[in-house]
């Protein structure tokens, strides 16, 4: 029994998420980060915070309204967490905009990339902006004066809107004080000026600036006292009842439309918004003062991400590179022959995702292939891989696709793919209600010399060609009979009905993954107590599951050396005397998004290595279908250690070390000993741009 109370064992999840965004923000603050990438990191923080409010803060507000006493293993009540979150979020956002206005935008202006503010327009820019307003903006706007006949309009989640204070009477003699102007999502949030009047190589004007300068044209004969941007963030969690889910796709399509109008959780307004208008908006949306976020700039920075792609300045971005192809596939044009010969590991983004697409494409045209089975969690709106599955179905292959319709914020894209796959003749299933299918599996079944043989690809990341250029992930091709039989069994569980059958090699959520990891930790404890070297290294996106954390504490106390590389939230407190002195926690934030899950247990020299789709979170262990794959090939095992774990512990450039209070300190390199894991892996695999 652990003598420490709950509050000493576990940190808070919401505060951990905000701490992660602090680290991302430091990448924008770092002058060694290329300038356009600094802007991109600022935008990433905004995108992350949007989801944080839509899901985590919305959840806290629901718990508070329901009178729930404790929100998580840290022992804090939802009200206590919410108050801490408000303080931290306000400070974080203030720092973000300060960084934008006083560091990033001035440096961009020095490089000839300028955002011209309304007060600094030249006469030519003012005339051009006015003409643009009448030509492109005004025709699509619908200003709404607020009175008894015109109630406050429905405001879409995260949409750009303008609150206008007015005085005077209109043509009908009405005397309305307030109006709302909604900016259609089809309008660009910033517009590039013609070179002749830009005054710099890349000159931009915010849509909000053009509208502010000309808003009086929408209210002829009245005087505009103030015009203020505002944006509302809403609860975006979907609520589906199993007894109503006769057709999950139809039910979800109906529910998605409600996401735009969920309960309000945050109000963002321009910094100069009057107190009167801010109070009016808060009252309208049923929010409190603590829910109000005043920002010195655009209320939505996410759209600025496009600037980095529009500006042709490679010197202000991370250097380009070409992803390499594994030697096994370069030597052998027949992918199936290469996989039959030996397991093949892909390490994204340093190695290309193309072999995975070719795996399915070849299967589609191969007369020996009988069937293809695939899971899809996130694939994006443009997917070569799913197009290959569609082609396979059209060519008469038996194609089964498990489409996870409830992949958050990818629901619509997945619904569309499901419909297209069905039209092509594929069997489409939506997994098991109540358990998201998060495992990344693709299986091809061929008839070779009269015998059926299975080939599989198992990954730590999504089948999304876009993210494989940005996220670090492992993918394993294998024809191992035990592993492929296990994958086949998991597909049978998902698509059919029946009891869980024991697997030979894979650990699977929601059945065995949690218990097997606890057993692996317990074995290290036994080795340590017997005087044998004991070691655990694990890399993941999040560590929040209490039983695993308590097992790690016990292992550390028994003398097991433990290093955890956790990109995001970690509820475990490392380095606490008497609790976790032998445990270290690191977070890597750099050019690429750390995404692979890799687990190592020394196991008395057996060196057990696994890759997995699952983080160490309650949802991954108990509410998702996940796969954890042992690495059997000795050479690949050495590669996973040499690429996915050991160099991450050496990083002293983009690595943050966490203390027992949940605070992160960026590691620093001694003179001449700088080591960046991303640079190391790029040098090892990537090729110069073609």
Which amino acids are annotated catalytic?
438
Q: What's the rounded Cα separation, in Å, for the pair 687 and 690?
A: 8
First to last CA, the chain: 60
How many DSSP H helices and E strands does the chain contain? 24, 27
Q: What's the rounded Cα separation, in Å, for the pair 512 and 221?
A: 71
The conformation of residue 256, written as its DSSP 8-state character, comes to H
- DSSP codes of every residue in 610-666: EEES--BSHHHHHSEEEEEEE--SHHHHHHHHHHHTHHHHH--SSEEEE-TTS-EEE
Which pair of structure tokens corresponds to residue 377? 């969690």
Q: What's the rounded Cα separation, in Å, for the pair 437 and 402?
A: 8
Which pair of structure tokens corresponds to residue 419? 């419909």
Query: How many C-beta atoms surround the C-beta of residue 450 within 10 A?
Result: 5
Q: Which long-range contacts (CB under 8 A, 24 or more apart) does 336-341 make?
A: 336/362, 336/366, 336/444, 336/446, 336/455, 338/477, 339/455, 339/477, 339/478, 339/479, 340/453, 340/455, 340/479
Q: What's the rounded Cα separation, in Å, for the pair 165 and 215?
A: 11
- According to the 3-state scheme, what is the secondary structure of 544-592? CCHHHHHHHHHHHHCCCEEEEEECCCECECCCCCCCCCCEEEEEECCCC
Q: What's the rounded Cα separation, in Å, for the pair 509 and 505?
A: 13
Q: What's the rounded Cα separation, in Å, for the pair 414 and 405?
A: 6
Q: What's the rounded Cα separation, in Å, for the pair 510 and 622?
A: 5
Give the pairing of strands 161-167 and 178-182: antiparallel
- DSSP codes of every residue in 352-380: -SHHHHHHHHHHHH-TTEEEEEEEES---
Q: What's the rounded Cα separation, in Å, for the pair 508 and 490?
A: 8
Which pair of structure tokens corresponds to residue 352? 């290309």
Let me know the angle formed at the C-alpha of 95 by 51 and 591, rounded to the nearest 5 degrees.
65
Coil vs helix vs strand at 322: strand
Which pair of structure tokens corresponds to residue 420? 């297209």
Among residues 200, 232, 205, the alpha carbon closest in space to that of 136 is found at 205
- According to the 3-state scheme, what is the secondary structure of 124-144? HHHHHHHHHHHHHHHHHCCCE
Coil vs helix vs strand at 93: helix
Q: What's the rounded Cα separation, in Å, for the pair 267 and 294?
A: 9
Coil vs helix vs strand at 243: helix
Q: Please, which residues bridge with residue 679 across strands?
A: none
Q: What's the rounded Cα separation, in Å, for the pair 461 and 464?
A: 8
**CA–CA distances in Å: residue 377 to residues 305, 418, 506, 690:** 25, 11, 20, 31
Rounded CA Rg of the chain = 27
């Amino acid at each position: 029994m652990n003598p420490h109370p709950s509050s000493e064992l576990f940190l808070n999840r919401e505060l951990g998420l905000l701490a992660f965004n602090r680290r991302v923000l430091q990448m924008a603050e770092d002058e060694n980060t290329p300038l356009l990438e600094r802007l991109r990191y600022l935008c990433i923080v905004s995108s992350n915070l949007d989801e944080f409010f839509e899901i985590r803060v919305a959840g806290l507000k629901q718990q508070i309204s329901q009178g729930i006493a404790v929100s998580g293993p840290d022992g804090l009540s939802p009200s206590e967490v919410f108050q801490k979150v408000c303080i931290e979020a306000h400070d974080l956002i203030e720092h973000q905009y300060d960084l934008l206005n006083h560091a990033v935008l001035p440096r961009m202006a020095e490089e000839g990339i300028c955002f011209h503010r309304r007060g600094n327009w030249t006469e030519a820019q003012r005339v051009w902006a006015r003409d643009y307003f009448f030509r492109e903006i005004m025709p699509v706007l619908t200003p709404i004066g607020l009175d008894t006949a015109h109630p406050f309009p429905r405001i879409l989640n995260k949409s750009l809107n303008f609150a206008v204070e007015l005085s005077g009477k209109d043509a009908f003699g009405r005397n309305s004080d307030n109006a709302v102007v909604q900016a259609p999502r089809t309008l660009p949030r910033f517009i590039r000026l013609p070179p002749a009047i830009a005054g710099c190589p890349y000159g931009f004007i915010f849509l909000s600036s053009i509208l502010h300068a000309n808003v009086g044209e929408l209210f002829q004969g009245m005087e505009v006292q103030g015009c203020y941007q505002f944006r509302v963030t809403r609860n975006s969690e979907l609520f589906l009842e199993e007894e109503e889910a006769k057709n999950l796709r139809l039910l979800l399509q109906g529910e998605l439309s409600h996401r735009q109008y969920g309960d309000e959780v945050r109000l963002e307004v321009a910094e100069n918004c009057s107190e009167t208008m801010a109070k009016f908006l808060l009252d309208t949306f049923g929010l409190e003062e603590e829910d109000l976020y005043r920002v010195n700039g655009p209320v939505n920075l996410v759209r600025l991400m496009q600037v980095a792609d529009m500006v042709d300045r490679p010197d202000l971005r991370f250097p380009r590179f070409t992803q390499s192809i594994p030697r096994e596939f370069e030597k052998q044009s027949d992918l199936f022959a290469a996989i039959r010969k030996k397991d093949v590991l892909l390490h994204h983004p340093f190695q290309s995702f193309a072999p995975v697409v070719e795996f399915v494409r070849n299967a589609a045209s191969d007369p020996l292939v009988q069937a293809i089975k695939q899971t899809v969690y996130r694939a994006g709106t443009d997917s070569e891989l799913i197009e290959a599955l569609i082609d396979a179905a059209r060519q008469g292959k038996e194609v089964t696709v498990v489409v996870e319709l409830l992949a958050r914020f990818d629901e619509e894209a997945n619904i569309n793919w499901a419909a297209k796959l069905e039209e092509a003749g594929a069997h489409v299933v939506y997994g098991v209600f109540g358990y998201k299918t998060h495992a990344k599996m693709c299986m091809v079944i061929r008839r070779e010399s009269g015998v059926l043989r299975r080939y599989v690809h198992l990954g730590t990341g999504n089948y999304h060609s876009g993210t494989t250029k940005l996220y670090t992930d492992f993918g394993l091709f294998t024809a191992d009979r035990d592993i492929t039989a296990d994958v086949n069994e998991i597909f049978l569980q998902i698509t059919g009905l029946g009891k869980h059958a024991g697997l030979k090699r894979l650990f699977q959520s929601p059945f065995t993954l949690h218990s097997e990891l606890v057993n692996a930790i317990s074995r290290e404890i036994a080795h340590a107590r017997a005087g044998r070297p004991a070691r655990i290294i694990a890399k993941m996106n999040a560590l929040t599951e209490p039983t695993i954390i308590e097992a790690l504490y016990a292992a550390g106390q028994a003398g097991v050396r433990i290093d955890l590389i956790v990109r995001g939230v970690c509820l475990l407190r490392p380095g606490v005397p008497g609790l976790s002195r032998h445990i270290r926690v690191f977070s890597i934030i750099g050019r690429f998004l750390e995404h692979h899950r890799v687990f190592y247990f020394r196991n008395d020299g057996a060196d057990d290595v696994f890759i997995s789709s699952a983080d160490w979170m309650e949802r991954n262990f108990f509410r998702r279908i996940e796969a954890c794959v042992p690495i059997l090939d000795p050479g690949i095992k050495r590669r996973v250690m040499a690429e996915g774990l050991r160099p991450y512990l050496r990083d002293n450039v983009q690595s943050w070390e966490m203390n027992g209070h949940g605070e992160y300190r960026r590691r620093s390199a001694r003179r001449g000993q700088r080591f960046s894991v991303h640079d190391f892996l790029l040098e090892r695999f990537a090729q110069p741009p073609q």
